[in-house]
Structure 1
Amino acid sequence: MGDKEKNVEDILKPGDIIKEKWIIVKMIGMGGFGQIYEAKYMKSGESAAVKVESSQYDKQVLKMEAEVLQKMKGKSKYICKFFGCGRESKFNYIIMSLLGNNISALRKATDSGYFSTSTALRLGVQMLRAIRSLHDVGYLHRDVKPSNFALGMGRHSRRLFIYDFGLARKFADDRGMLRPPRDTKCPFRGTLRYASLNAHNGQELGRHDDLWSFFYLMIEITYGQLPWRSLREAERIKHAKMRFDHKRFFELERVPKELKPFREYLESLDYYTKPNYDYLIGRLEFGMRERKIDKSEPLDWERL
C-alpha cells in the first residue's frame, strides 16, 4: 500500500461524523480514487455509502461523480440516490445509496463462471436501460464493465444500479446538442478488457462506445471470459479485439443468439448517431419471450 492510500485510510474511521448527520460504520472498499465507507444517518439509521478521495491527489474524480448524480436525481431508477457531497480540509466526499454485490463478483461466485441465459438476459435489459438513462441526460459513462453495475439493497435487491462516474464526460448540452469531437488524440479512458477500439485508438468516445463495452460485458458473463482475458498490454488487447471472431461464440448454447446482431449494429454507428436502444433492448426481451423466461423466477445467486 502506498503512502497516499495510507493517508486516505487514516482520514475516516468508525465513529467519525460527516456533516453532523452521518456516522461512519466501517470501510467497505478501496479504489484508485480513495475509499468507500458504510455510514448511517444518525436520525433514522438509514445506511449509505460514503466515497472519499484525498484532497492531496492531483486527479480529483468525485467532482464529476457528484455532477452526474445531481443531474440524474429523480430521472432514473437505475441511478443511486444522492444524499450530498462536500469538502473537508484533507478530503472530498460524496454520500449516496449503499449498494450490494456487483455483477462481476456475482459471476465469479458461480460454479460455472458464467450466468444462465435467463439471468444474463434479464441483467442485460436492466444494464441497457441504465446506460440509456445516462445518455439521455447528456453523459457518457466511459467505463462500462460488470463491476460498475451492482444490486440494490432491501426492496431493490433485484434492481441493477450503474455507478462510478469518475470517468464520465458530458457529450451534449441541456438542449441535446452534441459537443464537437476533439481533433487531437484523446487520452485512454476506461478499462482495457472492455474498452472499444475507438478508446484504444485515442478517438473521441461516443454513446456507441459505452455500448461496445456492454457487448463485451455480455459475452463475458454468458461465456465466462473474453479471449483477451490473460493479456495485459494495451496493444495486444487491441489486436485481439480486431481479430475477435464473435460468430463462433454464438455456436455455443450458453451465449444467447440474440447478441449476434449487436456487433453488426454497433459497427454501423458513429459519434454523431443516436443508438436505437429500443432495438437492442427488444432483442434481449425477444429472447426472454422465446424461452418463456419469467421475470420473477430466481436469479442464479438466488438459487443457491
Structure 2
Amino acid sequence: MEVKCIDGRFRLKENLGTCTKCSMFRAANLVDIGHTVLVKIGQSKHHGLLERERAILDQLCGLPGIPGVIWSGTEFEQDVMIFEDLGPTLDNVFKSTGRRLSMNTIVFLAEHLIKFLQHIHSRSYIYSNIRPQNILVGPVLPGQQTNELCLFDFSLAQLYRDPRTHSHVPFLSGRPLSTILPFASLNHHSGNQLSRRDDLESLAYLLLYLARGSLPWIDTNITSNSDILQSKESISVAQLCDALPSPFTTFLSYARDLSFTQKPDYNYVLNLFRALHADTAAPPPALSPAAEMSEQAYWTEDVVSLHPKLAVSVYETPRKR
C-alpha cells in the first residue's frame, strides 16, 4: 500500500527521488503548521536498511553535522525515518550558481566537512558516502555568520574499529561496489576494505569538483565503476589540481598516501585550507545576500531561491585596474 501520511502527523507532498535503496520525500508537518520534514522510506526488498542507519545515527547523536531524527518506525509494512528539513543539498546550490562557488566558500565547506569526518571517526565509524547530494545547506542561524551544514544518508557508514578496544578491522579485498559512486576512493572502487583514509580521499574529490566545476569522470559517457577507476588512475594528481591552489594537490596526495590503519592528521589538513583564508584576505564566508569585495577578489551575488535567506557569492577572476 502506498504511504501518504505517516504517524498521523506528516503528509507527503513532494517526491525528491531515491537515496541509496530508499525513496525520499518532503512532507508537510500537520501539527507544526508551515514546517516541512524530509522522509526516507525503505524499499521492501531492503528491509532493515533504515533500522541499521537509525542505530548508527543514535551512536553519532550530538555530533556536529549529524541530522536530527524526528521519528522512525513502520508504516504500511515499510520502514520510515523522518528528519529535520534543513535546506537544499549542496548539489542543488552548486548547480544553481552555474557550478561556480567562491574559493572562500569552498574553504568554509572544507573546514566543516573535515571536522565532521574527524568527529565521526572519533566514534569509530567512517561515513563512506561523501557526495554533494548528501550535504544539506541550511540558512544562516541567528547570531551566526555562516550557514548550518549537515551530512545526510548514513546507509553506507560502517565501523572501522571496535568501539571498546579500538582494535582496527582487518584489511579485506574483493568487496565490489554495488552502486555508482563518482567520489569514491581508489580503494573503494577496487573493492578493498575501507578506513579513515578513504573518507578523506572522497572529500578531496568533492572539493576538486567544487573548485573545477566538474571532474573528468562526471558528466561524461563514463557509467561504470571500473571506467571511473580507470579514469582516476590515468589522471595524475597534478593534472586534476592544475591551476588550483596548492592545498588541493597536497590534500589529495596526503589522503592517498595514508596507510590502511593510519589516523589522519586532521589539524594538518585543516591548516592547509585555513591558509587560503589568509591568502584571499576576505572575511569568513556566508551563503548570504551580502556581497563582499577585497583587493584579491571581486564578488557578485547569485541569490538562490531554494531556501529562505539563502544565497551564494560567486568568485570572479580579479580584474586589472
Same fold (TM over 0.5): yes
Query: Matched residues in 2 for 1:235 and 1:293: separation?
Result: 41
Cα 1:116–1:11 change in 2 (3 A) is same
- The answer to whether the 8 A contact 1:61-1:167 is kept is no
Cα 1:60–1:191 change in 2 (3 A) is farther
Kindly report which structure 2 residues correspond to 1:1-304, keeping only aligned pairs within 5 A, or say none: 10-12=2-4, 16-18=5-7, 20=8, 22-31=9-18, 32-40=21-29, 42=31, 47-54=36-43, 56-58=44-46, 60-74=48-62, 76-111=63-98, 113-153=99-139, 155=141, 158-175=147-164, 177-181=166-170, 183-188=172-177, 191-229=180-218, 230=220, 231-252=222-243, 255-296=244-285, 298=287, 301-303=311-313
Number of equivalent positions: 286
- The answer to whether the 8 A contact 2:180-2:225 is kept is no
Amino acid paired to 1:164: D
Q: Could you state the TM-score of these two structures normalised by the residue count of structure 1?
A: 0.84
Cα 1:234–1:77 change in 2 (3 A) is closer
- Which structure's residues are more often strand, by fraction? 2
Gap regions ≥5 residues in structure 1? 1-6
- The answer to whether the 8 A contact 1:84-1:95 is kept is yes
Q: Residue 34 of structure 1: SS of its match in structure 2?
A: strand
Q: Deviations over 1:17-61 (max 9, x none)?
A: 41x5x232513412131232324262676543221124x223542
Query: Matched residues in 2 for 1:222 and 1:176: separation?
Result: 40
Amino acid paired to 1:272: T
Query: Matched residues in 2 for 1:221 and 1:260: separation?
Result: 14
Q: Residue 294 of structure 1: SS of its match in structure 2?
A: coil
Query: Aligned-pair RMSD on alpha carbons?
Result: 2.5
Percent same amino acid among aligned pairs?
Answer: 23
Cα 1:94–1:220 change in 2 (3 A) is same
Cα 1:28–1:99 change in 2 (3 A) is farther
Amino acid paired to 2:3: I
Query: Matched residues in 1 for 2:75 and 2:197: separation?
Result: 38
Q: Residue 209 of structure 1: SS of its match in structure 2?
A: helix
- Which structure's residues are more often helix, by fraction? 1
Offset, 1:89: 4.0
Cα 1:24–1:180 change in 2 (3 A) is same
Query: Matched residues in 1 for 2:164 and 2:102: separation?
Result: 41
Q: Deviations over 1:164-206 (max 9, x none)?
A: 0111112223336134225452132664311111111111011
Q: Residue 99 of structure 1: SS of its match in structure 2?
A: coil
Query: Matched residues in 1 for 2:76 and 2:13: separation?
Result: 21
Cα 1:35–1:298 change in 2 (3 A) is closer
Q: Residue 287 of structure 1: SS of its match in structure 2?
A: helix
Q: Residue 159 of structure 1: SS of its match in structure 2?
A: strand
Query: Matched residues in 2 for 1:43 and 1:250: separation?
Result: 47
- The answer to whether the 8 A contact 1:28-1:38 is kept is no
- The answer to whether the 8 A contact 1:152-1:158 is kept is yes
